[in-house]
Structure 1
Amino acid sequence: MISVTSLFMPVDNDLRLLTANLKKLIGTRHPILEAAAEHLFSAGGKKIRPAIVLLVARATMLDQDITPRHRRLAEITEMIHTASLVHDDIVDEAQLRRNVPTVNSLFDNRIAVLAGDFLFAQSSWYLANLDNLEVVKLLSEVIRDFAEGEILQGINRFDTSLSLEAYLDKSYYKTASLIANSAKSACLLSGTSQTIADNIYSYGRNLGLAFQIVDDILDFTGSTEVLGKPAGSDLISGNLTAPVIYALEEKPLLSVLIEGEFSEKGDLETALELVRESKGIERAKTLALEHANQAVKYLEGLKSSESFQALQELPDYVVSRIY
Structure 2
Amino acid sequence: MTSATSLFSPVEADLRLLTENLQNLIGARHPILYAAAEHLFSAGGKRIRPAIVLLVARATMHGQEITQRHRRLAEITEMIHTASLVHDDVIDESATRRGIPAVHSRFSNQVAVLAGDFLFAQSSWYLANLENIEVIKLLSEVIKDFAEGEIQQGLFRFDMGITIESYLEKSYYKTASLIANSSKAAAILSDASEVEAQNLYHYGRNLGLAFQIVDDILDFTGSTESLGKPAGSDLRSGNLTAPVLYALEEKPYLEDLIDREFEQEDDLEQALALVRDSQGIQRARELASHHAKSAIEHLADLPMSESRQALIKLADYVLSRLY
TM-score band, normalised by the shorter chain? Answer: over 0.9
What is the total number of aligned residue pairs between the two structures? 323
CA distance in 1 between counterparts of 2:251 and 2:237 reads: 20
Instruction: Give the structure-2-normalised TM-score.
Output: 0.98
CA distance in 2 between counterparts of 1:43 and 1:221 reads: 26
CA contact (8 A) 1:149 1:173 kept: yes
State whether structure 2 residue 3 is matched by structure 1 residue 3.
yes
Q: Percent identity?
A: 72
Task: Give the ranges of 4+ consecutive aligned residues of structure 1 lying more than 6 Å apart after TM superposition.
Answer: none
CA distance in 2 between counterparts of 1:66 and 1:144 reads: 28
* Pairwise CA distance, 1:33: 1.4
* Pairwise CA distance, 1:156: 0.3
Please identify, of 305-314 and 222-231, the stretch whose mean Cα deviation from structure 2 is larger: 222-231
Q: Which residue of 2 aligns with 1:14?
A: 14
* Pairwise CA distance, 1:99: 2.5
Pairwise CA RMSD:
0.9
Instruction: Give the structure-1-normalised TM-score.
Output: 0.98
Q: Which residue of 2 aligns with 1:68?
A: 68
State whether structure 2 residue 230 is matched by structure 1 residue 237.
no
State whether structure 2 residue 92 is matched by structure 1 residue 92.
yes
1:169-219 residue CA offsets vs partner (Å, 9 max, x unmatched): 000000000000000000000001000000000000000000000000011
State whether structure 2 residue 199 is matched by structure 1 residue 199.
yes
CA distance in 2 between counterparts of 1:35 and 1:225 reads: 27
What SS is found at the alignment partner of 2:286? helix
* Pairwise CA distance, 1:2: 2.2
What SS is found at the alignment partner of 1:301? coil
Structure 1 residue runs without a partner (length 5+): none
CA contact (8 A) 1:100 1:228 kept: no
* Pairwise CA distance, 1:95: 1.0
Please identify, of 253-262 and 173-182, the stretch whose mean Cα deviation from structure 2 is larger: 253-262
1:198-254 residue CA offsets vs partner (Å, 9 max, x unmatched): 000000000000000000001111112111222211111111100011111111111
CA contact (8 A) 1:7 1:310 kept: yes
* Pairwise CA distance, 1:91: 0.9
CA distance in 2 between counterparts of 1:24 and 1:229 reads: 31
State whether structure 2 residue 317 is matched by structure 1 residue 320.
no
CA distance in 2 between counterparts of 1:314 and 1:76 reads: 21
Q: Which residue of 2 aligns with 1:299?
A: 299
CA distance in 2 between counterparts of 1:99 and 1:232 reads: 19
What SS is found at the alignment partner of 2:301? coil
CA distance in 2 between counterparts of 1:281 and 1:243 reads: 5
CA distance in 2 between counterparts of 1:293 and 1:78 reads: 25
CA distance in 1 between counterparts of 2:226 and 2:194 reads: 40
CA contact (8 A) 1:76 1:123 kept: yes
CA contact (8 A) 1:97 1:229 kept: no
